Amino acid sequence: MTSGAVAHGIPEILADVQAGARLLWRLPAFLRRPVRLEEARGILRRRLERREADFLDLMRRAVYG
């Protein structure tokens, strides 16, 4: 890997480290709040209802973004 390639990858590495730190910071609070069955079913139902629209939105941002 050339020094230019390494320098180009540094922002991505820093973003990954930042995301990992954020995950570790927020994980304990997330694990302290279990999701009840009714709540999980509601979340799943809403996500399935929006699945197609969410996919198209993702493609718009990823491809044409």
Are 50 and 25 contained in the same domain?
no
> DSSP code of 52?
H
Tens-level pLDDT at each residue, the chain (65 residues): 566 656 678 899 999 999 999 999 999 999 999 999 999 999 999 999 999 999 999 999 999 98
Residues 29, 41 share a domain:
no
- Rounded distance, CA 60 to CA 65, Å? 6
What is the predicted pLDDT for the residue at 8? 72
- Asked whether residue 4 falls in the same domain as residue 16, the answer is yes
Interatomic CA distance for residues 61 and 8, integer angstroms: 22
Give the chain's domain count.
2
For residues 47 and 25, membership in a common domain is answered with no
Instruction: Classify 46 as helix, strand or coil.
Output: helix
Asked if residue 39 and residue 24 are part of one domain, the reply reads no
Q: Are residues 5 and 28 in the same domain?
A: yes
pLDDT at 3 (0 to 100): 63
CA 42/CA 22 separation, integer angstroms: 27
Question: What range defines the domain where residue 53 resides?
Answer: 35-65
Indicate the helix (H) or strand (E) that contains 49. Answer: helix 37-49
